[in-house]
């Protein structure tokens, strides 16, 4: 049986280490599976690289750097999901399918759905701060599961110190997120849409509306927030497992 390869894409201002133990858990729970995480330009190991504000430029960069020998699956969270969608549309031969977690796309979704009104001041304060205050604000905005919170924030602060995120790249990633729009033709590969019903950042109705438009499956966890892999990793992997069977 051929090994399945997954590539995980994180969201706005996050790097591959913010997946925590999720990639290892995914490899354990999904038989014959290999998981890799990549950093977007401006984040993590690529923090010195300017993030493109052109969606096509970013997708071409990812395709050139990470083009697989065999088709792979993508799992994208938030902005990572928007990028996964465009990767699928531009280079469908790279992929077998994609899983979009708490994702939104313009102009399918209005701005108040794409970024909930109460999230704006919290997100702006987080981006204008640094160190522990920034990471605490982002945790409170994206995570519902509080177990291990203090230890996790310590690690997140260390990530920020090692690979600092510039304000310029924050701005450029926000510009990129706004430009990630839906294309007029349907998805070129199978799509699974997942969301957290308690998402404080992106309205979960975005995932529901995309699922209805594409006639693709959508499932929502009643207790999870924006960072679904952190809040409910077992549930997330189980939904992927059931989807793969189909």
Task: Output the CA–CA distances (angstroms, integers) from residue 171 to 112, 139, 226, in the order listed.
Answer: 19, 20, 21
Q: Is 99 exposed, middle or buried (0-12, 13-18, 19+ CB in 10 A)?
A: buried
Burial of 87: CB neighbours in 10 Å, binned 0-12, 13-18, 19+ = buried
Residue 108 Cα distances to 103, 111, 206, 213, 216, angstroms: 11, 10, 8, 9, 15
* Count of the separate structural domains present in the chain: 1
Residue 10 neighbours by CB distance under 10 Å: 26
- Decide if 229 contacts 77 (C-beta within 8 A): yes
User: What are 75's strand-pairing partners?
Assistant: 8, 99
pLDDT tens digits, 71-110: 999 999 999 999 999 999 999 999 999 999 999 887 666 6
Rounded Cα gap, residues 33 and 197, in angstroms: 28
Q: What is the pLDDT of residues 152-204, one digit of tens each?
A: 999 999 999 999 999 899 899 988 888 888 877 889 999 999 999 999 999 99
Mean pLDDT of 55-79: 93
pLDDT for res 126 = 84
Task: Give the chain's radius of gyration (CA, Å).
Answer: 17
212-244: pLDDT as tens digits: 989 999 999 999 999 999 999 999 999 999 999
221 and 228 in contact (C-beta within 8 Å)?
yes
pLDDT of residue 110: 67
Query: Which CATH number fits the domain that encloses residue 159?
Result: 3.40.50.1820
Instruction: Give the domain extent around 191.
Output: 4-245
Q: What pLDDT was estimated at residue 180?
A: 84
Phi first, then psi, for residue 234 (nearest 5°) are: -65, -45
Burial 166-201 (b: 16+ CB within 10 A, else e): eeebbebbbebbeebebeeeebbbbbbbbbbeebbb
Taking the C-alpha atoms of residue 163 and residue 146, their distance in angstroms, rounded to an integer, is 25
What pLDDT is stored for residue 88 in this prediction?
A: 96
pLDDT in tens, 152-163: 999 999 999 999
């Amino acid at each position: 049986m051929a090994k399945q390869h997954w590539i995980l894409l994180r969201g706005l201002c996050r790097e591959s280490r913010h997946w925590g133990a999720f990639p290892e858990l995914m490899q354990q729970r999904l038989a014959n599976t290999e998981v890799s995480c990549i950093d977007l330009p401006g984040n993590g190991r690529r923090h010195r690289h300017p993030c493109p504000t052109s969606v096509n430029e970013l997708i071409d960069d990812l395709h050139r750097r990470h083009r697989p020998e065999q088709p792979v699956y993508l799992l994208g969270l938030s902005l990572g999901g928007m990028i996964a969608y465009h990767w699928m549309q531009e280079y469908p031969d790279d992929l077998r399918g994609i899983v979009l977690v708490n994702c939104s796309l313009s102009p399918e979704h209005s701005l108040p759905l794409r970024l909930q009104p109460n999230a704006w001041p919290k997100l702006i304060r987080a981006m204008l701060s640094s160190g522990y205050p920034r990471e605490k604000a982002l945790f409170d905005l994206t995570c519902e599961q509080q177990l291990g919170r203090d230890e996790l924030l310590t690690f997140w602060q260390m990530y920020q110190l090692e690979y600092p995120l510039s304000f310029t790249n924050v701005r450029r990633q926000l510009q990129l997120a706004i430009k990630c729009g839906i294309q007029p033709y349907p998805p070129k590969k199978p799509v699974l849409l997942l969301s957290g019903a308690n998402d404080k950042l992106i309205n979960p109705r975005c995932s529901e509306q995309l699922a209805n438009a594409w006639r693709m499956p959508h499932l929502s966890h009643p207790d999870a927030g924006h960072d679904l892999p952190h809040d409910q990793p077992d549930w997330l992997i189980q939904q992927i497992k059931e989807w793969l069977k189909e």
